[in-house]
Chains A and B, each alone.
Chain A
Amino acid sequence: MFNLTTIEIDAFYLTLKVAFFSVAICLPLGVITAFTLSRLNFPGKWLLDGLVHLPLVMPPVVVGYMLLLLLGRRGVLGSWLYDTFDVTVAFTWKGAAIASAVMAFPLMVRAVRLSLDTMDRGLEVAARTLGASRTIVFLSITLPLSLPGILTGTILAFARSLGEFGATITFVSNIPGETQTIPLALYNFTQIPGDQTPAIRLLTISVVVAFAALIASDLLARKVKNRLGTKFEADQ
């Protein structure tokens, strides 16, 4: 039962790879976007806010199709990427990572922003009166204090990427070894009548990976809390 086939092993590693790069794209962009939305005021802020949240409220298939139109070989950005850098993202694992990143982005931004919005802004003012420039304040006060939110956002984005299906299958299709992540492979197996063992194996892998991510996030969260000194808050 637990002798994994090549398809399943490929799907497992691919899923981790796609999720990892999805988070790698989401994390820096998400923190910057969250900071912009939380701390800065500028005309058109509502538009940025809306754009960020679109993938959360639109059908994933629509997002996938939009990505195809934008980043496909003949797409607006896609043709430019191909002509200039000889890079193709459609129907590759890179495209799968991008699709996952777009779908996970609002979750990342929301989690980080919540952290930034609830932070005591007075601490940033205090840091500036002590001679720290805006950049130093961001790096030494804002960023460390929003670590819990960043951590939550990362876990959510990672989990969302593990499970991404609709946008991925629309944008990069279901190619074994290239774009066939666990959910896509599982979908394939369920479409074929007969032996359900491979599907159940993939299901098991999914559950194990998800649990491992949850446990890892819990351990990290505790560590962060200790560092922020919130462990003693109950004694006050």
Chain B
Amino acid sequence: MISAEFVVERDDFLMDIKLEIPSIGATVLFGPSGSGKTTFINVLSGITKPMSGLIKVGNATFFDSENKIDLPMEKRGIGYVFQDGRLFPHMSVEENLDFGRKRSNDKTSRKQEIIELLGLGQLLQRKPSTLSGGERQRTAIGRAILSGPSFLFMDEPLAALDFARKQEILPYIATLKKNLKIPIIYVSHQMEEVVRLADHLVLLENGKILDHGQIFDVINSPSLGILLGKDDKTSLINCHVDKKNGKDGLSKLLFPGGYFLVNQQNLVPLENVRIELKAQDVALALEKPVATSIANILGASVAKIETSKDTNCDVLLSVGNVSIWARITQQSASKLGLKIGSQVFALIKSAAIRPF
């Protein structure tokens, strides 16, 4: 666990932070450009020195202004993947990978595993200047992991890449997260990366933490709505791809409470995926429709009804253990006579479900 409490000066504002970050899974720092995300991980990794504070990672004290402790960055054991990769241009890919590995305590294992995981096998003898943007970033990730860090920091590692390259690298990072069990702090201002990777979410704006916590809670935080300039709710649901495809080429995604049928062929059976479901894509019915084009009809009970300023309201549904938001008009809500505990059916078109 990281426990950080510090004040750091920036050109435009003073950043006053108090936060604890679990050492399990991926924590995404999300916020607009200039909100202090990079400053935050730079302070933790020792690149930027705070004015005052106390920073502890596990049992180690990284920084303690009261006792004049400021652990040099090479002793902090943090793997840092920079936005621009920062591969050493005079070394081959393999020499880059070995640079941190030579100095880590864990020299033996892993190298082959990481090379395979990141698809670097063909690149080992190449110089960084001959690599594509995606290959460079994969090398940078491998280099950071092979230094045997207790935490992996990633500062918008995909920001410098075009859309196709992003799609190429995101799966690698997701696999990494699953296979390596190194806690990750990931800086991003892309919702797609948040939805796909985050287990915990920290929202930052102008050097202040607006909200933080489990992704499933924070994803619908009003602060996030303000940051994104929208007020619609989203449901994130962890699913498991069924071992065989459903009928008619639809994939079957199991979750505790039922399954979704989605129109996506490239899902790997038995993989875990997370789906994003926007509230306005969920409709409600009191009786199970018989003749309908809608592929997903789930029995649910109403857990909460939130009325918003306009003519809509958001209904929180419990489907098994899973929560799903539905946005309907207030008129529809009163027509259906919805109240807490009502038994309803949630109707979701398979095209509205986005698996990651």
Contact = CB atoms under 8 A, between A and B. Distances in A.
A233 B127 CA distance: 11
A228 interface: yes
B86 interface: yes
A229 B147 contact: no
Interface of A is mostly: helix
Interface string B75-87: 1111110101010
B88 A123 contact: yes
A140 B129 CA distance: 18
Contacts, number: 72
A167 B75 CA distance: 50
B90 A145 contact: yes
Interface stretch (A63-71, A130-138, A152-160): A130-138
B47 interface: yes
B73 interface: yes
Most A Cβ at <10 Å: residue of B76, B80, B90, B127 = B90
B356 interface: no
Contact of A122 (B73, B84, B130): B84
Interface in B139-183: 143-144, 147
B100 interface: yes
A141 interface: yes
Given A129-B80, A130-B100, A131-B103, A120 B86 contact: yes
B144 A130 contact: yes
A236 interface: yes
B104 interface: yes
B130 A127 contact: no
B128 interface: yes
A129 B73 contact: yes
Contacts of B246: none
A120 B128 CA distance: 15
B99 A130 contact: yes
A167 B157 CA distance: 56
B256 interface: no
B128 A129 contact: no
A33 to B, nearest CB: 23
A130 B129 contact: no
Interface string A213-236: 000000000000001111111011
B341 interface: no
A128 interface: yes
A116 to B, nearest CB: 15
B74 interface: yes
A128 B72 CA distance: 9
B58 interface: no
Given A122-B84, A127-B99, A130-B144, A228 B78 contact: no
A175 interface: no
B47 to A, nearest CB: 6
B225 interface: no
A229 B130 contact: yes
A144 interface: yes
Contact of A232 (B74, B77, B130): B130
A125 interface: yes
Nearest to A120: B86
A122 B103 contact: no
B157 to A, nearest CB: 13
Interface in A101-155: 120, 122-123, 125-133, 140-141, 144-145
Contacts of A123: 86, 88-89
B88 to A, nearest CB: 6
A228 B89 CA distance: 6
Nearest to A228: B90
Interface of B: 45, 47, 72-80, 82, 84, 86, 88-90, 99-100, 103-104, 127-130, 143-144, 147
Sorted from nearest, which 3 A-B pairs have the closest CB atoms? A130-B100, A229-B127, A131-B103
Given A145-B90, A229-B127, 4 more contacts: A129-B73, A129-B80, A130-B99, A145-B89
